[in-house]
Structure formats: C-alpha cells, structure tokens
Amino acid sequence: MTTDPSKFLTSLFDRAVEVADPMRSLAAYLPEKPEGRVVVIGAGKASARMAEAVEAAWGPCEGFVITRYGYGRPCEGIEIVEAAHPVPDAAGVAATNRLLDLLAGVGPDDTVIALISGGASALLLAPAGEITLVEKQAVNAALLSSGAPISQMNVVRKHLSRVKGGQLAAAAYPAKMLSFLISDIPGDDPALIGSGPTVGDHSTVEDAKAILARWNMDVPQSVHAALEAGSGVLAPDAERASRVTNTIFAAPSQSLEAAAELARASGVRVEMLGDALEGEAREVAADHAVLAKERKAAMMAGDAPLVLLSGGELTVTRRGDGIGGPNAEYALALALALGGETGIHAIACDTDGVDGAAEVAGAVIGPDTLQKAKAAGVDAADALACNDAHTFFGKIGTQVVPGPTLTNVNDFRAILIEA
C-alpha cells in the first residue's frame, strides 16, 4: 500500500461508486431500441443518470423522470423533474400525478422503460385514501426514526400508496414494461427497491399494521383508515403485472468486489463481511470493533494489511435531536469502541452521497479521531448519545462529501488493519 490510510479508504469508496454509475453499467443491459412508441419513466436518486444513459444508447426519448433535488441530469427528450428526499414534498406529488397522466396514454403496442433506484419511495408520491401530504410526511419521518429495517419500512409505504407494490406497472398495463433497477436493498429483492413500484408483492395490509405496532409508530388516523380500506398492491401473479420484466443491473455486491479488487492490487488482503448487513448502526459498529481488534491481535510484524469490507443498510433509532445518519453514526460508534487502537482506520459512507438527510456521505476515522475531538472541544460519547455524528465529524474535519454521486448501492464500509 503506497498511500496514507485515509486516502486509500476513500479510493475504495470512490471505486465502489464508480462501477455503479449507470453511464458505465446500464448500456450492457439495454436491448436495441424497441419499435413503435417508447416512453421512459423513472424515479429515484439515480434515475436521471439512468435516463441520461438510456439516451446515450438510444438517442432522444419521450419520457418523464423524478429525481432528488440536485440530482438532475441533462437529457434531450426525457423531462427530468426534481423533488424532495427523504421526506417528500408537494413537488413529488405533482410530479407523480404527471407521470401517471403520461402512462394513462400508453397502449398494448407501446413499450415503457422504467428506471428505478433507491429514493423512489419518497419521490413517487401518490398517497392512498384520504392521507394528506403533511400526514404522509409525518409517516415517512416516523419510519425513518423508528429503527425499523428498510424492508419493513417499504411494506408500510406500499400499502399507503397508489403507485408502489406493482401499482406503477398496473398504471402502464397493457403496455409492455422493461424495468431496470439499481439495488440499494440488502438481498437485492426487486420488490423492495424503491418500494417495488413495478414488482408485485405478497405482503398484506395486516403485515403493514403489524410493522407499525412492532415499531411503536404513532401515525395519523387517516393511515389506519387507509389500511382498513385495503390497498391496491398487486399480487406477483396478477394480470396487470404480467407484461413487466424487472432487471437489476447494479448491486452492492458488484461495488464491494470492485473495491476488493482495487485493495488486492495495492497489496492489501480482503475479508468480506457481507453485502447485506442490517441492524442498529452503533451495535454493528461495536461488533466490528471487536472483530477488528481480534484480526489486529492475530497479525505478525510484516504481515500485509487487511481490509474488512461490508455493505447493506444500517438503521438509527433516533434518541436525540442531532444531525446524523447511519454511516456517520457507525463511524462514530466504531471510533469510540476502538478507543484509539493503533493501526486501525475505517470509512463508512452511503454510495448515494447522502447519509440520512444531510448532504454528507459519511466519515473517515483513525487512531487519532478521539484526540482530534478533544482538541476541537467536542465529546464523542455525547455526540453519539444525541445522534449528532455529522456535527461531530464536521468539527474535526473528517467528513466525506462527494456531492451527488448519481447512483445508489447503499452503505459502503471498510476497516483497514495494519500490523
């Protein structure tokens, strides 16, 4: 390894993001442009970049795509509209209505190309029943702060929506739909990516009710009323889901393996901890600190460095009023658990460039993290207690801020261990 630990770890993150860029990865999965009318739709933090990749392959196309503020891309024919994420806004409601109006005009001889990535859950916004935008925002905020895994959050979202859980595919029926997805979900289940707008689902309203109860979520009465009325979520074998083909073309495992190849090329050994880790960020960090110390203790002088790689999606149960996200909270908890152990550095970042609601991907830590904090007059334990990890790392200058990455294959974590 010829560079310093922080630069090395950041290079691994950059490589993980690079291989998931739709401009590099989508073209190989696109067929020749279909004959007849082709309509491109999409939603998610990577959807505008995906639309740009489609037009790079096929030329200007008719279409309408919704992405996060700041994540738009220049397209010739496809209209790109921006809306709020992770808490939805009125722009998302208006954009979703326009997208549904476009689909109302397609027929059995047309082809719809759907571009779906993480973030679609908040950006595709058509609340069920009498749920208002303000109430939907409250539900989303409750889900994000509950500590529930993303898979369970998305079950609730599906049954409170008119577009999720295969209902976007139903809106395009009887047109043929080719759906291309970037996975930000542990296990890469297409039904969970963006709450599965183009994928049928076996979950029920009873499942959604049980999740709300399990995680003690206080939601408006209109939510309970909408669930009692039933939902439009499609069964996987429903007729209106029969003309859809769903294809995942970028996933966390590919990005982790690309980072692993780069590490090996630098003379660093690699241990994969998995691409689908879930759990409370601070608890996973504590476990990883124990593992890192064990690996460090087993190393002999002269041994090649070792990097522990992992992906997935961690969660945070909100306990305080700080500014943070699961990656920064993991990094902060890891620094505390390591206690300044020499020879161990780490990075934890979200590949979409946004950790939680902050425009920060995550952070880098090392043996001097707690010393830097003391010099800056900030207390690591206090910051963790009030979920204020972004403020903490901002004050000691070790945040990772790449800006919009235009993709999203979930969390990226690397722990570098040197003898």
Task: Give residue-wise pLDDT tens across range 132-178.
Answer: 999 999 998 888 888 888 889 989 999 999 999 999 999 999 999 99
Give the side-chain half-sphere CA count within 13 A for 28: 9
pLDDT of residue 140: 84
pLDDT of residue 186: 86
Strand order, beta sheet including 78-83:
78-83, 62-68, 38-43, 111-116, 176-182, 244-250
Residue of 371, 354, 362 whose CA lies nearest to 394: 362
Tokens (6 digits) for 135: 């109430």
pLDDT of residue 87: 86
- Region of 80 please: left (phi>0), alpha (psi -120 to 50) or beta: beta
Distances (CA, A) of 21 to 7, 46, 52, 220: 21, 8, 11, 39
pLDDT of residue 1: 60
Tokens (6 digits) for 103: 């689909």
| CB-based contact 78:99 (threshold 8 Å) | no
pLDDT of residue 322: 95
Distances (CA, A) of 367 to 91, 297, 301, 417: 45, 16, 19, 11
pLDDT of residue 285: 98
pLDDT of residue 154: 86
Domains and CATH numbers, the chain: 5-15+253-417 (3.40.1480.10), 31-250 (3.40.50.10180)
Angle at 324 between CA 326 and CA 90, to 5 degrees: 95
* pLDDT tens digits, one per residue of 278-332: 999 999 999 999 999 999 999 999 999 999 999 999 999 989 999 999 999 999 9
Which residues share a beta bridge with 79?
A: 64
**What is the pTM for the complete model shown?**
0.91
Q: For the chain, list residues with pLDDT below 70.
A: 1-2
